[in-house]
Amino acid sequence: AQSVSQHNHHVILSEAASLELGCNYSYGGTVNLFWYVQYPGQHLQLLLKYFSGDPLVKGIKGFEAEFIKSKFSFNLRKPSVQWSDTAEYFCAVGTGGFKTIFGAGTRLFVKA
Amino acid sequence: DTAVSQTPKYLVTQMGNDKSIKCEQNLGHDTMYWYKQDSKKFLKIMFSYNNKELIINETVPNRFSPKSPDKAHLNLHINSLELGDSAVYFCASSQSSLGETQYFGPGTRLLVL
């Protein structure tokens, strides 16, 4: 069955620390890959996406993610986090079969 | 302009009641979704409609009945509410059903007492 796993459920960092959130998926075909962010009390919004082309994609607010096809991974990175990055981060995989599968989410807390 | 809107934003009700949540998108998208987000923030797909046709029904109890009067609207009716239905329900839409970017509504926080 198709699935998306996010390695960390909770991450606590100090401001200016570097961030890497892991995401792996299980699906053998062509995929669209997404990271969504949910700030406290708000709805999900797109952070970045990969459909094709350069496997290193840049999103809003200094986030980037790298698609490594051989590892079925799409890890999210940011070199220096800010307090305002405190949020829940969801990795998602669109398989083209009517369904986008979301990971369980990683809750990031950034200490000021 | 709100792209995906939901009403109501908050809903507090008693067990056994019937309630509806409405969703509208003004993006011209063909596909709409309902998700349930539980207290642990886990996001689970419930239904998906493409051009008013049901394409995903993820083993949701039949107390939940979606209705899509046109492709810009996808409403969710819940009969005989149970305590376990308490959650945040998100509506979303996408251009098509082919795994594209989804645009989410603000969510409806349902509390069943």
- Of A106, A64, A59, the C-alpha closest to A87 is A106
Which of A44, A88, A97 is opposite residue B104, by nearest beta carbon?
A44
Q: Does A95 touch chain B (CB under 8 A)?
A: yes
Evaluate if residue A97 carries a pLDDT over 70: no
* Pair A94, B98: CB distance under 8 Å: yes
Alpha-carbon torsion angle B49, B50, B53, B54, nearest 10: -30
Query: In whole angstroms, what separates CA B85 from the centre of its chain?
Result: 13
For residues A57 and A64, the answer to whether their CB atoms sit within 8 Å is yes
For B102, name the nearest residue in chain A, comparing CA atoms only: A46
- The pLDDT of residue A105 is 93
**Residue numbers in B near A105 (CB within 8 A):** 41-43
pLDDT category of residue A98 using cuts at 50, 70 and 90: low
Using the beta-carbon criterion (under 8 Å), do B41 and A43 form an inter-chain contact? no
pLDDT band of B1, cuts 50, 70, 90: low
Q: Which residues contact B83 (CB under 8 A, 6 or more apart)?
A: B15, B112
- A10 lies within 8 A of chain B by CB: no
Residue A67 pLDDT greater than 90, yes or no: yes
CA distances from residue A63 to A57, B47, B85 in whole angstroms, order as listed: 9, 30, 35
Q: Does B105 touch chain A (CB under 8 A)?
A: yes
The minimum CA-CA distance between A19 and chain B, rounded to whole Å, is 21
- pLDDT tens digits for range A45-64: 999 999 989 999 999 999 99
Quote the CA–CA distance of B62 and A2 in Å, as a whole number: 25
* Residue A46: other Cβ atoms inside 10 A: 16
Q: Is the dihedral of CA A38, A28, B51, B56 positive or negative?
A: negative
Q: For residue B27, which amino acid is it?
A: L
Q: Model confidence over B60-113: pLDDT tens digits?
A: 899 999 999 999 999 999 999 999 999 999 999 998 767 778 999 999 999 999
Given the DSSP bridges, would you call strands B10-13 and B108-112 parallel, antiparallel or unpaired? parallel
CB B1 within 8 Å of CB B50? no
Q: Which of A51, A52, A99 should be substituted to probe chain B, the one whose Cβ sees the most B Cβ atoms within 10 Å?
A: A99
* Confidence band of B55 (pLDDT split at 50, 70, 90): confident
Which pair of structure tokens corresponds to residue A23?
Answer: 């995401």
User: Cβ neighbours of residue B102 under 8 Å, at least 6 residues apart?
Assistant: A44, A46, A100, B33, B92, B93, B94
